[in-house]
């Protein structure tokens, strides 16, 4: 099993110049390889393979000598990225979706390069990179498993990170048969079938005023000037701060849930379609449901827990006690069943229904909430 470990690195000014040059060379190669594939299909109805594009690298190095300054395996990985992009594109086409065609990368839009096999080594807190030198790494936690690949990434705020993809064997948690259903929402981030609620922190809303302030300053700066570049970085820092807070929040709560419960049932939500609702799009994007569910699924797999995604249809409209279905406008926060007299918070009722559906999918008979 693969697991990625991400660390901050502190390259020297000379190393930063080299890595920025590498990124530009990789960007040029990416665009050239994409143009080759596009032209081959349009002119000859032919699909270029990964190996055919690898074979052209020696010729390209003669035509563009600056490519020779980049490690050979890093250049080969650019072709791998193109190949993966096209595979993902055709996979989505076959699935009946409407995917975007792989796009060319503009200046500054290529922000990482990868050593897939060799050219790097980690010795203590020093990362040795071929043709770049020794770079200081802040190892805030130990690297676990065998390192397979090394990726260097530049953030939008010009910070540098290294990501090690490691072959890693997880340690399962002790067996636990306690089950939970989770209903996500905007009023509260999540409601558990145990009756507990996780408050919605609304990180974007907290920073919205500060973001508007720095964006106004950015809009007043003249294009192409150092001042505009400086202010754009300030805007990027605000967005980065929001993303870090959100990521930390979902990491902490997903870990608590996986540690506590052996069976986890959630809704199989299509968040991409939900954000088409222009009244709620900002709030839905702020809560990061997709990221929360992904972390729950991954951590549950590592811990040998059971994770189930159920159809969310009618979970808020069905009575968790008797199964009676009634319409529930979003403005109504309390579910009152006219058949059995059950009175619950609507999110708690939905969480109980999600738990019941999850247990049914596993072949377990759910218990009534009244028992």
- The encoded tokens of residue 296 equal 């729950």
Residue tagged active-site, from 83, 286, 318, 347? 347
Residue tagged active-site, from 25, 83, 183, 286? 183
Can you say whether residue 169 is alpha, beta or left, with left for phi > 0 and alpha for psi between -120 and 50 degrees? Answer: beta
Give 211's contacts (C-beta < 8 A, 6+ positions apart): 235, 238, 239, 242
Active site residue 83: no
Distance CA 362, CA 130 (A): 51
Distance CA 122, CA 67 (A): 25
- Give the closest residue to 267 by CA, choosing from 308, 326, 214: 308
Residue tagged active-site, from 83, 267, 286, 318? 267
Active site residue 345: no
Contact 224, 218 (CB under 8 A): no
- Taking residue 37's Cβ as centre, other Cβ atoms within 10 Å add up to 21
Active site residue 267: yes
| Dihedral in degrees, nearest 10, Cα atoms 3, 292, 110, 50 | 60
Helices 203-220 and 226-260 pack at an angle, to 10 degrees, of 170
Q: Largest Cα–Cα distance in the chain?
A: 80
Determine the Cα angle at 9 with ends 254 and 224, to 5°.
100
What are the residue numbers of the active site?
183, 267, 347
């Amino acid at each position: 099993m693969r697991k990625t470990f991400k660390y901050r690195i502190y390259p020297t000014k000379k190393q930063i110049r080299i890595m920025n040059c590498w990124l530009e060379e990789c960007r040029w190669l990416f665009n050239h390889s994409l143009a080759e594939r596009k032209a081959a299909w349009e002119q000859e109805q032919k699909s270029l393979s990964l190996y055919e594009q690898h074979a052209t690298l020696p010729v390209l190095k003669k035509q563009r000598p600056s490519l020779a300054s980049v490690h050979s395996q890093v250049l080969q990985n650019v072709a791998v990225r193109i190949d993966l992009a096209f595979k993902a594109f055709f996979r989505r086409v076959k699935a009946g979706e409407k995917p975007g065609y792989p796009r060319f990368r503009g200046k500054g839009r290529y922000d990482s390069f990868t050593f897939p096999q060799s050219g790097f080594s980690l010795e203590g807190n020093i990362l040795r990179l071929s043709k770049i030198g020794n770079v200081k790494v802040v190892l805030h936690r130990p690297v676990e498993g065998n390192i397979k690949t090394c990726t260097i990434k530049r953030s939008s705020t010009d910070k540098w990170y290294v990501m090690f993809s490691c072959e890693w064997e997880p340690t399962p948690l002790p067996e636990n048969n306690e089950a939970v259903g989770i209903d996500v929402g905007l009023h509260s981030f999540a409601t558990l079938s145990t009756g507990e609620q996780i408050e919605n922190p609304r990180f974007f809303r907290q920073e919205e005023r500060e973001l508007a302030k720095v964006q106004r300053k950015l809009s007043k700066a003249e294009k192409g000037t150092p001042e505009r570049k400086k202010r754009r970085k300030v805007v990027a820092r605000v967005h980065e701060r929001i993303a870090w807070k959100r990521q930390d929040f979902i990491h902490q709560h997903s870990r608590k849930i996986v540690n506590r419960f052996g069976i986890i049932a959630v809704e199989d939500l299509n968040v991409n379609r939900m954000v088409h609702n222009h009244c709620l799009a900002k709030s839905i994007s702020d809560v990061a449901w997709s990221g929360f569910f992904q972390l729950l699924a991954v951590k549950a797999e590592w811990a040998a827990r059971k994770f189930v995604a159920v159809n969310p249809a009618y979970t808020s409209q069905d009575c968790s006690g008797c199964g009676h279905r009634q319409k529930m406008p979003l403005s109504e926060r309390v579910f009152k069943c006219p058949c059995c007299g059950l009175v619950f918070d609507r999110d708690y009722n939905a969480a109980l229904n999600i738990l019941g559906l999850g247990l049914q999918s596993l072949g377990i008979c759910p218990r009534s909430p009244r028992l």
